Structure 1
Amino acid sequence: MLPSKLLSSLQAVFPTDRLYIDPVDCYTYAYDNSRKIYPPDAVIFPLTSAEIQTAILLCNQHNIPLIPRGRGTGTAGGSLPELGGIALSLERMLNIITVDPANRVIVAEPGVTNQSIQDAAKPHGFFWPPDPSSAMYCSLGGNIATSAGGPHAVKYGTTRDHVLGLKAVTGAGDIIKTGCYTTKGVVGYDLTRLLIGSEGTLAVITEATLKLTSLPDAIAGITAHYRDIASCAAAIVKIMSLSQIPSALEFMDAGSLALIRGRFPNMLPAHSRAMLMIEVDGSSYDIPNLITTVMDACHTDGLLQVENTRDTAHLWKTRKALSPLLRDIAPKKINEDIVVPINSLPELLDGLTQLSDRYQLANVNFGHAGNGNIHVNLLINPDDPGEVSRAEECLNEIFDLTIKLKGTLSGEHGIGSEKRAYINKEIDPVTLNLMKQIKRLFDPNNILNPGKLFP
């Protein structure tokens, strides 16, 4: 429960439709896509930087946690109010402030959805490359908080590569501006890239200046099916060794294909055990050669069939249906987004198969193979203590294998609360201590999203 003095101060700033204190109203903000539940004591909906600053200063005075959140689509527990406190929902900050085609820039507030950014850019011949599977619903602020990626990150990069500057309020209540409006600028430290991926632990984003990219003239799709994972992994390495890489390269294992067959019975070859979904883009003149080159690279001993498809929209609709399908059959699945160097993918995928077999766990793997970013899904029964224990041991070994292969524990989901216990596997004590010092500098009283990232 919030102190009465703090509540009175909040009521003086936020009208009743932008301040929730009834537990029933607050419950919607108790969880994200990690499916864990931690109810906040209150929810506030700011509309301006000044309101955010006021909320932060009040929380500092009363030592109350303040947890920024977008649309709650994150899977790593990054927006969970684990210690209670106030959920700071940015979903009503919906202004697209500037659309500037001449400079290829959009300036927008954090509550704007990814899809709204795309819709604003498209009439001018541009797009914003980050495209997570939740793009229709996820917010710009959430994309920035986790440096979201998506299928097209293989060619175009993640959120971190497409933000020029930010406005934010630090955990100390200071309003700051980072970066610039131009694509070139080296004045001072790069605080923009520091804030991107910081999961709301340093500052609350209030405005972002985004760098747009020209829409390609033409797009084509390719699907390739394999008799086993090993031959599919070998094809991924061949494709990514080409001088011109695809705009997307998605991998699905046998478990993923079984899920798709359940929804689209006649879509896939019955004997396919692994699949690549590939997209190429560029000029209309270049596309035919790109298709031929990529299709040639798909050939390995285990190739069953490879074909060109014009219906790329259906291709991505199918791919993006995978996560919801998994939620339907395993609402308590363990979902990780590890990344390894491309040439280590064969060893990683083989290792994942061995580990799931050893621990007797159902495992479905798919993801952005062009980045070496594999989404590992351990399907467990949370009511079976033995299975939960085996899953924890298996996950620990998966992370060890990832680090051994010079990989990273998260490519786009973030650390949040789900992976903080494992962060020491990747970050050495000296570097981790430096990060904690940065946290204290931005947020000296540890009121912004406390407990996230660090063990």
Structure 2
Amino acid sequence: MFTDPVDCYAYSYDNSRNFRPPIAVVFPLTAEEVQAVVRLCNEHKVPLVPRGRGTGTAGGSVPEQGGVALSLERMNRILSIDPDNRMAIVEPGVLNQELQDAIRPQGFFWPPDPSSAPYCSVGGNLATCAAGPHAVKYGVARDHILGLKAVTGSGDLIKTGCYTTKGVVGYDLTRLIVGSEGTLAVIIEATLKLTPLPRAVGGLTAQYRDTTSCAHAIAAIMAQSFVPSALEFLDNNALNLIRNRHPGMLPEDMRALLMIEVDGSEQEIAEARAAILKACEVDGLIEAKEAHDTKSLWAARKALSPLLRDIAPKKINEDVAVPVSRLPELLGGIEKLATQYQVANVNFGHAGNGNIHVNLLVNPDNPEEMQRAEKCLDEVFSLVLGLDGTLSGEHGVGMAKRPFVDREIDAVTLDFMRNIKRTFDPANILNPGKLFPAVGH
């Protein structure tokens, strides 16, 4: 356990850059130790914040009200891999990439694959219902879990789900806990559903003269019968970041890019490639072609987030999502708002799910610029909700989106959710204050 403020400092923030120091950091190794810590905090009404590796961008693991940070990083065992039943049982501290490396020789992968896969934990992936580029075909974390063991806010150990892919006995508490950001229970063990590795993978790129044309192509791709295994969008400002680091890599007249992956048998890939290339042929297309070096493409895509700091020291990073058919309106609207408020803006993301990472790039030491950015963000959220979208596709709510939640969820439903929280956590010690706006907000 850490109690020295210097030792605790590393557990006072996540990738949202919000800082709130805990009074202590605890590193349990067993379910019994988790229960003991929860019960002690419950008895003394001390806030307790479950934590993975702190890679989240919404402030979900920040100990906002102080208290104890419950780091699960040392509960990092892969307990079993069962290829016959396509399952693995893991503790929450196992890194996503460690899991992938362990199951790949058996011929499997676990589809959630965020950019932070080498550093983020499976427990954190489940807490936020993480996704990544391959969610367009394979779904999100909630779609790849069969059951959990978790400790409630009262210190009770509960077991959810079952060891089969079908099971309808009782309420589906597994899917309720996944995505709850540590506000309902502390995940201590997860039974994961594994997916066979595809026999082959193929890549495509499509270059466009403007964002609107590209958005129409995305809708056309998702309207045809072959589902890409990944469909990533990069706007011109994102492309400029890559151009600055890798001169000559990208054509200068390209203003938007689609990076497309298809998988399956060689015949399936050939058929999918032909159908998707046809769908790419909208007005504004410069060139659509097969990509032979997919590894370098994905490396460039995954390097985008760190490169944003080349433009400004702070990014306001929102992972909004809209129906795919509304992407032209979303992307066009964001460009207009960024121009109106004179805020640097870079957009990229998982276009096949309508999930766009909107990055407003600002200098936090410039109050006037920050004020403009906040007004711009407010209107971006209004735009998203007006297009039947959602404020978060995969990052979660945490602290960052909390003030806006009641725009998406009505008061009656929010009260119902708060009652669920009270059932799991009567003393409100688990990650208190997260997810929901204050009553009366």
TM-score over 0.5 (shorter chain)? yes
| TM-score normalized by the length of structure 2 | 0.98
Partner residue in 2 for 1:103: 85
C-alpha distance after superposition, 1:323-362 (max 9, x if no partner):
1111454332100000000000000001001111111111
Aligned residue number for residue 295 of structure 1: 277
Given that residues 236 and 369 in structure 1 are in contact (C-alpha distance below 8 angstroms), is that contact kept between their aligned partners in structure 2?
yes
Aligned to 2:232: 250
1:279-294 paired onto structure 2 within 5 Å:
279-294=261-276
CA shift digits 1:213-233 (9 cap, x unpaired): 111111011111111001101
Encode CA deviations 1:77-132: one digit per residue, 9 max, x unaligned.
00111111111000111110010000000000000001111111111111100000
Amino acid in the other structure paired with 2:268 = D
Task: Determine which of 27, 45, 48 is the counterpart of 1:66.
Answer: 48
Q: What is the CA–CA distance in structure 1 between the aligned matches of 2:416 and 2:268, rounded to whole Å?
A: 47
Structure 2 counterpart of 1:76, from 31, 46, 58 = 58
Tell me, in whole angstroms, the C-alpha distance in 1 between the residues paired with 2:276 and 2:122: 33
Write the distance in 1 (CA, Å) between the matches of 2:102 and 2:56.
24
Give the corresponding residue for 1:166: 148
Q: Secondary structure at the match of 2:46?
A: coil
Counterparts in 2 of 1:140-151, with a 5 A limit? 140-151=122-133
Q: Is 1:336 matched with 2:318?
A: yes
Say whether residues 1:203 and 2:185 are aligned partners. yes
- Pairing 1:217-232 to 2, within 5 Å after superposition: 217-232=199-214
The residue number in structure 2 matching 1:234 is 216
For the 8 Å contact 2:236–2:255, the answer to whether it is kept is: yes
CA contact 1:35–1:332 (8 Å) conserved in 2: no
Which range moves more in the overlay, 98-107 or 298-307? 298-307
Please name the residue that 1:52 is paired with.
Answer: 34
Match of 1:422 in 2: 404
Structure 1, residues 220-250: CA drift from partner, whole Å, max 9, x if none? 1111111100110110011001111100000
**Contact 2:147–2:159 (CA under 8 A) maintained in structure 1:** yes
| Cα pair distance change 1:327/1:49, threshold 3 Å | farther
Structure 1 pair 327/163, CA: closer, same or farther in 2 (3 Å)? farther
| Aligned counterpart, 1:121 | 103
For the Cα contact (< 8 Å) 1:66–1:85, is it kept in 2?
yes
Give the structure 1 partner of residue 370 of structure 2.
Answer: 388
- How many residues are paired up? 437
Q: 2:424 aligns with which of 438, 442, 447?
A: 442
Q: What residue number does 2:73 align with?
A: 91
User: Structure 1 residue 180 and structure 2 residue 162: aligned?
Assistant: yes
Match of 2:2 in 1: 20
How far apart are the structure 1 equivalents of 2:225 and 2:59? 38
Moved more, 434-443 or 389-398: 389-398
Letter of the 1:102 partner, please give it. D
C-alpha contact (below 8 Å) 2:313/2:364 kept by paired residues:
no
Q: Distance in 1 between matches of 2:244 and 2:148?
A: 44
Give deviations 1:110-165, integer Å, cap 9, x for gaps: 00001111111111111100000101110000000000000000000000000000
Retained in 2: the 8 A contact 1:380–1:387? yes
SS of 2:40's partner is helix
CA distance in 2 between counterparts of 1:287 and 1:138 reads 31
CA distance in 2, matches of 1:60, 1:328: 45
Given candidates 362, 382, 391, the residue that maps to 1:409 is: 391
Residue 297 of structure 1 and its aligned partner are, at CA, apart by: 1.1
The answer on whether the counterparts of 1:113 and 1:138 sit within 8 Å (CA) in structure 2 is: yes
- 1:29 corresponding residue in structure 2: 11
Provide Cα deviations, 1:355-410, integer angstroms capped at 9, x if missing partner: 11111111100000000000000011111111111111111111111111111000
| Deviation per residue, 1:416-437 (Å, 9 max, x gap) | 0010000001100000000000
Normalised by the length of structure 1, the TM-score is 0.95
